[in-house]
Amino acid sequence: MTRQVPLFINGEFVQSASNDKRDVLNPATQAVLAEVPFATPDEVDVAVASAKDAFQTWRDVPVAERARLMMRYQALLKAYHDELGEILAHDTGKTFEDAKGDVWRGIEVVEQAANIPSNMMGETVENVANGIDTYTYIQPLGVCVGITPFNFPAMIPLWMFPLAIAAGNTFVLKPSEQVPLTPVRLVELFIEAGAPKGVLNMVHGGPDQVNQLLEHPDVRAASFVGSSHVGEHIYRTGTAAGKRVQCMMGAKNHMVIMPDADPNAVLNALVGSSVGAGGQRCMGISVAMFVGDSSQLIDALAERLATAQPGVWDDASASYGPLISPQARERVLGLISKGTEEGATCLLDGSDCTVDGYPDGNWVGPTLFKDVTPEMSIYKEEIFGPVLCCMQVETLEEAIAQINSLEVGNGVSLFTASGGAARKFQHEILVGQVGINIPIPVPLPFFSFTGWRGSFRGDLHAYGKQAVRFYTETKTITAKWSFQEPAATGGGQPNMS
Ligand code: NAD
C-alpha cells in the first residue's frame, strides 16, 4: 500500500478526500515514495477557517510564550537533524551533507524567530504636543500563507511559518507537491514543540489550490518562493485580491573573476557553487565571467569540474545528487544541446552521465561551456542544472553593465585582490546579494534575503527584520491624558484607636 501524504488541518493529520493525486518519486530510482493528494476546495477552506479561528487566541498569547515555542522547536529540529536530513535526501536526491545543510539553514531562521520580542518593539515619542504622546505597536496580520518550491523543502518553509507565527499570525503552508515528505516531518515536530491547533495548517496541491488561497477573503498575506513565471502570476493574483505578497523568484547568478583573483580560490568556489545540489539552487553560480584572458583558468576548471560527479544520497564521494525529475533532466539536456547548436564550445558534456546501480536516476554530469554570448539560450534561461557557462569581457565596467542589463538580480559574486574593484562593484551592481571573494552570499537570518529586480516582487523581503515587518502591521496611537490630584478625603492621619 503506497504511503498517502496527509494534510494537516486544525491540529490533526487527515487523509484528503481528493481523487487527484501525484506520485512522489525518489529522483535516484523513480521508486514511488508516496502519493500526494491535491486538496479539495472544501479542505482548503477548512484549513483557512482553522487558521482564522486560531488567530483569535494566538494573537493574544504573550510574545515571550510565542518565542519559547520557537526555542522548543529549534531544539527538536536539532535533535532530529539527521532524520530530517535523511527524509530530505530521499525526497530531493540531495547528498546527506547537503540535505543536512538545507535543514540547518532553516534551523537558523527558527533561532531568529525566537528573538521575536525585540523585533516586535514599536517606537515612542513623548510630548508630540502638550501632554500628548505617540507610540506604535507592531501587531500581526491574521492568516498568512506560504507557497514553496522543491529545491529547499526544509529551509524555505522555515523561512516563512516560524517568523509569521512568532509574530502572532496563523499560517497555511502549501509545500511543493514534488517534495511533501520533509514538510510533513517539520509539521509533526512543530506540534511536538507545543504549537496549539490551527496555528499551522498544511494543504497540498498545485495551481488550483494556490489560486484558492491567494483569492481567499480570510487570507491577509502570501509568501512565495519559486520560478519567475509562477511568481509573476502569484504576485498579480494575490495583489489583485488585496493581499500583501512577497515573491522570491528565479535567478542567473554571475561570478566575476578579476585577473588578480587567487586562482585556487576561484576554482574551488566555481566548482562548489555551480554543480552543488546539481545546480538546483537559486543562489548557485551559473555564469563565470572572466575579466581579461581566461584560457588557463578555464582549462584548469574543466579538469576540476570533471572530478565532481553525481551519486546517491549516502555515497560520501558524491558531489551532488540527481535532478528532481525526469522532466527537469530532459529540459537541462535540451539546453545543453542548444548551447552547442548556438555556437558555444562544450568542454565537458554531462548529458550521458550514468551512476552504477542506479540506471533510472535523473543524472546529469558536470557540464562546462566557454565562448558563451548573451544571445544564447544557455545564457538567457535559468538552467537549474549542473551547467556552468564561461564568458569573457575586457573590463570590470563591461562586466557590471552586462549583469545590470539582465532582468534578474538575485545574487552575484566578485573574486579579486583589489579593494578598489570590490568597492566599485558593490556600489554599482544592481543585484541584491553580493559576495566579495564569497561564491554564494546567502545572508544569515538576522539579515534578510534581498533579491532585486526580476528576482523579487514585493516590498519586504524574506526572513530577518523585513519579514517581521511583512507579517505585521504598525498601529500608531496618539494619547492625551490629563492628571489632577484626587480631592483630599479630609481628616489627616487615620484614626488607629
Ligand atoms: P515552481 O515555480 O514550479 O513551484 C513553486 C511553487 O509554486 C510550488 O509549490 C508549486 O506547486 C506552485 N506552482 C507551480 N505552478 C503554479 C501555478 N501555475 N500557479 C500557482 N502555483 C503554482 O518552482 P520550483 O520548480 O519548485 O522551484 C525552482 C525555482 O524556484 C527556480 O526558478 C529557483 O530559482 C526558484 N527559487 C528561488 C529562490 C529565491 O529565494 N529567489 C529560492 C529557491 C528557489
Residue 384 Cα: closest atom of ligand 1: 31
Evaluate if residue 497 carries a pLDDT over 50. no
CA angle 188, 192, 198 (to 5 degrees): 70
pLDDT of 139: 98
**b (16+ CB within 10 A) / e for 218-229:** ebbbbbbbbebe
Residue 494 has a pLDDT of: 54
Best residue among 24, 236, 249 to mutate for probing ligand 1's pocket (most ligand atoms within 8 Å of CB) is: 249
pLDDT score for 217: 98
The pLDDT value given to residue 487 = 87
> For the chain, what percent of residues have pLDDT higher than 70?
98
Model pLDDT, residue 495: 52
> Which residue intervals of the chain bear CATH 3.40.605.10?
7-250+451-477
Q: Which atom of ligand 1 is nearest to the CA of 149?
A: 26
Residue 488 pLDDT grade (very low, low, confident, very high; cuts 50, 70, 90): confident
At 180, phi and psi to the nearest 5? Answer: -85, -5
pLDDT band for position 492 (50/70/90)? low
Q: How far is the CA of 229 from the centre of ligand 1 (A)?
A: 9
Residue pair 222/213 in contact by the 8 Å Cβ criterion: yes
Residues of the chain within CATH 3.40.309.10 domain(s) are 254-407+411-436
- State pLDDT tens for residues 306-320: 999 999 999 999 999
Looking at residue 284, the DSSP 8-state letter turns out to be S
pLDDT digits (tens, 9 = 90+) for 44-81: 999 999 999 999 999 999 999 999 999 999 999 999 99
- Is the shortest distance between the CB of 249 and ligand 1 below 6 Å? yes
DSSP letter assigned to residue 319: S
Q: Which CATH number, 3.40.309.10, 3.40.190.170, 2.60.40.290, 3.40.50.300, labels domain 254-407+411-436?
A: 3.40.309.10
Strand partners of residue 129: 132
Residue 352, pLDDT above cutoff 80: yes
Alpha helix stretches (DSSP H) within 278-418: 295-306, 326-341, 377-380, 396-404
Does residue 230 line the site of ligand 1, with CB under 6 A?
yes
Kindly give the distance from the C-alpha atom of residue 100 to the centroid of ligand 1, in angstroms, as a whole number: 21
d(CA 227, CA 207): 13
- Type and span of the H or E element at 112: helix 96-113
Q: Kindly state if the Cβ of 251 falls inside 6 Å of ligand 1.
A: yes
Q: Letter for the amino acid at 314?
A: D
pLDDT one-digit tens code per residue, 421-436: 999 999 999 999 999 9
Kindly report the protein residue whose alpha carbon is nearest to atom 19 of ligand 1: 207
Query: pLDDT tens digits, residue range 402-414?
Result: 999 999 999 999 9
Out of 212, 227, 245, mutate this one to test ligand 1's pocket (max ligand atoms within 8 Å of CB): namely 227
Per-residue DSSP letter, 471: T
- How many whole angstroms separate alpha carbon 224 and alpha carbon 252? 18
Task: With H, G, I as helix, E, B as strand and everything else as coil, classify residue 303.
Answer: helix
- In testing the pocket of ligand 1, which one of 24, 36, 282, 283 has its CB within 8 Å of the most ligand atoms? 282
Distance 246 CA to ligand 1 centre (A): 13
In angstroms, what is the span from residue 407 Cα to ligand 1's centroid?
Answer: 17
Helix/strand number for the chain, H first, E second: 16, 22
Q: To test the ligand 1 pocket, which listed residue (102, 155, 225) has its Cβ within 8 A of the most ligand atoms?
A: 225
DSSP annotation string for 128-175: EETTEEEEEEEEE-SEEEEE--SS-TTHHHHHHHHHHHHTT-EEEEE-
Tally the C-alpha atoms within 13 A of residue 319's C-alpha that lie toward its C-beta.
21
Query: Residue 367 contacts by C-beta under 8 Å, 6 or more apart in sequence?
Result: 336, 346, 348, 349, 350, 351, 385, 386, 387, 388
Spatial separation of the C-alpha atoms in residues 15 and 117, rounded to whole Å: 37
> Does the CB atom of residue 325 touch ligand 1 within 6 A?
no
Quote the distance between the C-alpha of residue 35 and its chain's center. Answer: 24
CA-based R_g, the chain, Å: 26
334-343 burial, b if ≥16 CB within 10 A, otherwise e?
Answer: ebbeebeeee
Residue 93 near residue 361, CB atoms below 8 Å: yes
Instruction: List phi, psi (to 5°) of 106.
Output: -75, -40
Q: According to the model, what pLDDT value does residue 414 have?
A: 98
- Say how many C-beta atoms besides its own lie within 10 A of residue 483's C-beta: 6
CA distances in angstroms from 377 to 332, 334, 340, 373, listed in the order given: 11, 10, 10, 9
Q: Which ligand 1 atom sits nearest the alpha carbon of residue 228?
A: 32
Q: Is residue 247 annotated as part of the catalytic site, yes or no?
A: no
What local confidence, expressed as pLDDT, does residue 295 receive? 85
* pLDDT, tens digit, 9 for 90 and up, residues 162-196: 999 999 999 999 999 999 999 999 999 999 999 99
Q: How far is the CA of 33 from the centre of ligand 1 (A)?
A: 21
Phi, psi (degrees; rounded to nearest 5) at 406: -75, 160
For the Cβ of 382 lying below 6 angstroms from any atom of ligand 1, the answer is yes
Ligand 1 midpoint to CA 477 (Å): 40
Distance from residue 149's CA to the centre of ligand 1 (Å): 4
pLDDT value, residue 493: 58
The pTM for the full model equals: 0.96
What is the per-residue pLDDT for 294?
87
Amino acid letter, 204 = H
Kindly report the average pLDDT of the chain as a whole number: 97
Rounded Cα distance, 346 and 252, in Å: 19
Instruction: Say if ligand 1 is within 6 A of residue 233 CB.
Output: yes
Residue 490 has pLDDT above 70, yes or no: no
Confidence of residue 378 (pLDDT cuts 50, 70, 90): very high
Query: Over 60: is that where the pLDDT of 491 sits?
Result: no
Q: State if residue 151 touches ligand 1 by the CB under 6 angstroms criterion.
A: yes
At 285, is the secondary structure helix, strand, or coil? strand
Q: Is the pLDDT of residue 367 over 90?
A: yes
What's the rounded Cα separation, in Å, for the pair 250 and 376? 18
Sign of CA dihedral 436, 442, 444, 446: positive
Catalytic residue among 282, 346, 353, 389: 282
Top CATH class, 7-250+451-477? alpha beta
The single residue listed with the C-alpha cell 573573476 is: 257
Ranges assigned E (strand) in 408-471: 408-409, 411-415, 433-436, 452-453, 456-457
SS (H, E, C) 229-281: HHHHHHHHHHHHCCCEEEEECCCCEEEEECCCCCHHHHHHHHHHHHHHHHHCC
